[in-house]
Structure 1
Amino acid sequence: MTLIHQVVISLVKFVYPYIEFVGVLVILVGIGIGIFDLVEIVSGFFKDLVLWGGIVLILYCIRHTLDLFFKGI
């Protein structure tokens, strides 16, 4: 065995017990980033929904007001 093989084997022996921990940590960080993105997407969707709902409500109020005006109340 060469020196490189010995170094690689010793590194694998040193890191191996922590592979599961590192994997779980990476998965949790990934889930955290995913949840943050999801919250951002959902909040953006709700902002758009509220904006469009407000526009529709304003248009409905204008139409209702014009109907009342033209009917002579």
Structure 2
Amino acid sequence: MSNFKLDLFKFDLARAKKCYNKKQVAKKAGLSYDNLMKILSGRISLTATSLGKIAKALDVEPIELIQDED
């Protein structure tokens, strides 16, 4: 699996569990808010590194944030 796709519903659930807004997630993940928004909208690809940073910021495993393969 080389192309990761963030599951927005799972992302929002993890974010809600931590009571973080998107700006807080970006800051805790060490990403710019603009880049996080581009990842969420699909305008830029989600890299393994960015996935790891987002998962760590939300205290979840990376697999919990990606879309299931169809």
The normalised TM-score by structure 1 is 0.19
**Using CA pairs below 8 Å that are at least 6 residues apart, which structure has the higher relative contact order?**
2
In proportion to residue count, which structure has more helix? 1
State which structure, 1 or 2, has the greater radius of gyration over its C-alpha atoms: 1
